Structure 1
């Protein structure tokens, strides 16, 4: 009888892309990278489109302030500070909107099956929670250190819509709860992950500036080259941060709610499927 139970329990996939155990910050970042690799086409393509649309908003705004990426880091004047706050809100919006693709990769890693195609209701919920998440991120950035609370406040909402099949209000409550439970560990992981990619992007930007000095390009060509490279760097960062959110939601449920034990028990009675991860 024990042998039968053990055999049934092994039906639960043990995919090393997303181990069902408490993870360190480094392991969560590695897991996010693996999830991006597995859904690279969908995640990076969507991230690139959204990053391009972001620049379509920010480029005219920067030019109205006579600020160009190719000129180097700008001073924190009043107008530029507002631009930074708007950029922070757009980044939060994009990361949340990438949640369904990242959440799908996480579901497949845990259950071995891709989630069903999202319905219009889920798409509307994702759009709504993204807009809601962008507001405290932008407002927090405008106020300075308040961003540390505003950015992680609703960040896990879209992955909750996808993984746990929640509606917008339920997903927002769930995101806040997971972000601030356990000594605010979820919020801290999101903030540290963001700053990690911010440093990578800034170093890349400085490298591009150094490279431009070696290229005899007109000012207009140099600026558009910088914009294109920034879009590429942002796309990779946004996809990775969305994947971090998906991994963090699963890991938080393992750490705080015993998801791994529940899934192992459930797998003894039926084949693993995405429904196992739905809200219960």
Structure 2
């Protein structure tokens, strides 16, 4: 049957935190019987925007990843819940607020850190994907509050058959965060490499009549340690190149300007690199 899925295009998140604030607006001080107790005003981030800076000025970027309960098919919290955590037929994972009372182990059971403990209510809580709204036929937006409030449409929700989702995953190159957890999340990301991987960037200049000028259309080739070509680029108007989505490892950068060549050894070790300007 149809399932609910969340998809974020990392490229379009600008850290406005509308998703977080709309979640707060919906749940802080509001009791939704059968779904969840009121969310505390402080301490809980059912939608948590992670931040990462890559590179070094002026070739740097800031990437934001909206994380929430991943609504996993193989949810570790379900086993830790001792009957208090269950998956609805539409794929949304819920915590029964009565059965879960006093069970603080639920917080540590989530590898994504998406479960919080409400000391006042003595119960674990998390994102419900606004299921109380999705179950309401009068809720005309038809999507969770976080999705409805996203100004760039970085966040989207889909209620589709699993086969349709599989097709979308393939066509849009969607990925899950921390696939090594093996939990089969219902939250997917486009352009996830911008948060999880690194880049090497730089610029090319050539001295002409005593002045260093940017070189447009210089050839930049990145090869791996075995000599295989990773990608070939042409520098832009500012002489810049940028190879993104790189895993840690050794690379060789080959630059060609009007027949003149340079080779530069590059090592990616957990961070992106700005090679500054390379003069010819």
TM-score range, shorter chain: under 0.3
Answer 1 or 2: which has greater strand percent.
Answer: 2
Structure number with greater CO (CA < 8 Å, separation at least 6) is 1
TM-score by length of 2: 0.25
- The structure number with the bigger radius of gyration is 2
Answer 1 or 2: which has greater helix percent.
Answer: 1
